[in-house]
Amino acid sequence: MLTENNPKQKSFIADLTYRPRRNRKSESIRQLVQEHRLHPSDFVVPLFVIEGSDCTQEISSMPGVYRYTIDCLTKQIDHLMELGIRAVDLFTVVPSERKTADGAEALRRNNLLHQSLQTIKKAFPELCVMVDVALDPYTNHGHDGIVDQNGNILNDETLVILMTMSLLASEYGADVIAPSDMMDGRVAYIRQALDQNGFTDVSICSYAAKYASAFYGPFRDALESAPKFGDKKTYQMNPGNILEALRESSLDEAEGADMLLIKPGLSYLDVLTKVKEQTELPVGIYHVSGEYSMVMAAAEKGWIDADKVFEETLLSMKRAGADFIFTYAAERIAQTLCTLLPKSRY
């Protein structure tokens, strides 16, 4: 009953001294008290490079994401930089006739990756160019390492190749090596080789906790790199584990990583937060292909607003502790951020 003498009613009125809604009453106040924000310089844009010239191909399972020949890639990067984006991650598409069991194309001097690096660093010296280091785009079986007759992925043999890939990429101008293979010991191995060869300034962003995920499907379409047999569960992590992610991150840190990466994104925000709590290194997250494509597919059906969902998703990653985000939505979100902020603010 609503009477003055009803004690329950009194305490209810007393609670209304506190009205959190006051801090949400206008857009300007909401902006003022906003705890986390997206900025174009948070993003690392994964870019797919193809051989040839004057060609862009849309990836059918990733609407709005393209493979570029080097000349077109340069134009795209120019556009991304106009939007305030400062970092890219390169993936090369290797024609199937050049894929072999040992991934030898990865070590061929002046291959497509090296040509891309050289051109991009010359045109945009201030851009942070990362390179994904793993064998899967180069092998005919689609695994990230060397495979023996029984289908086992050989850790130590693979390290030698990853190390050589990293040295070559550094020679051609890479700023950051991003090993995505999940072999044991690769960060120490690569770090030592870089240091011994005068590349002390080249950084390592290690995929510290990379899970064996079904969300990588569209990416494997983009590179035609799906494994031809088995799966990646002996090197990528079990989605049921988080302590293992902490251990992997500690090891990579001890081995000399400069930045850590968690992958995929949205389903692993708890991992990001926990890793961020245990390290002083910058920690990023990879909003992967499947996460991007699901949103685009639902948006094409008119079920959700892609830009709003991406913004909310990427913000959740910042809130969970991400210092930087690899995302295919970078361009469109940077575009929406640009309309909010005058260019002089970047």
Catalytic residues: 210, 263
Q: How far is the CB of 307 from ligand PBG (least distance, A)?
A: 19
Smallest gap, in angstroms, from Cβ of residue 163 to ligand PBG?
16
Closest CB to ligand PBG among residues 122, 233:
233
Torsion of CA 225, 227, 232, 234, to 10 degrees: -130
Phi, psi torsion values for 260, nearest 5 degrees? -115, 150
- Residue 68, interface with ligand PBG (CB under 6 A)? no
Minimum separation from the CB atom of position 264 to ligand PBG (A): 7
| Residue whose Cβ sits closest to ligand PBG | 219
Torsional sign, CA 122, 124, 130, 131: negative
Q: Among 48, 73, 87, 132, which residue interacts with ligand PBG (rule: CB under 6 A)?
A: 132
Judged by CB under 6 A, the number of residues near ligand PBG is 12
Cα gap 7→47, rounded to integer Å? 64
248 binds ligand PBG (CB under 6 A): no
| 136: contact with ligand PBG by CB under 6 A | yes
67, 49, 65, 47: which is closest to 57 by C-alpha? 67
Q: 245, exposed or middle or buried, with CB in 10 Å at 0-12, 13-18, 19+?
A: buried
Residue count of the chain, please give it: 346
Distance separating alpha carbons of residues 96 and 92, to the nearest angstrom: 12
172 binds ligand PBG (CB under 6 A): no
Tell me 139's DSSP state. Answer: B
Indicate whether 288 belongs to the interface with ligand PBG (CB under 6 A).
Answer: yes
331 makes contact with ligand PBG (CB under 6 A) = no
Residue span binding ligand PBG (CB under 6 A) among the ranges 132-140, 253-261, 296-304, 306-314: 132-140
Residue 189 three-state SS = helix
Element (H, E) at 116: helix 112-123
- 216 near ligand PBG, judged by CB under 6 A: yes
Question: Exactly one of 180, 203, 249, 327 binds ligand PBG (CB under 6 A); which one?
Answer: 180
In eight-state DSSP terms, residue 48 is E
Which listed residue (172, 211, 219, 324) binds ligand PBG by CB under 6 A?
219
Cα angle 59, 60, 66 (rounded to 5 degrees) comes to: 20
Residue with Cβ nearer ligand PBG (203 or 289) = 289
| Footprint on this chain of ligand PBG (rule: CB under 6 A) | 132, 134, 136, 144, 180-181, 216, 219-220, 232, 288-289
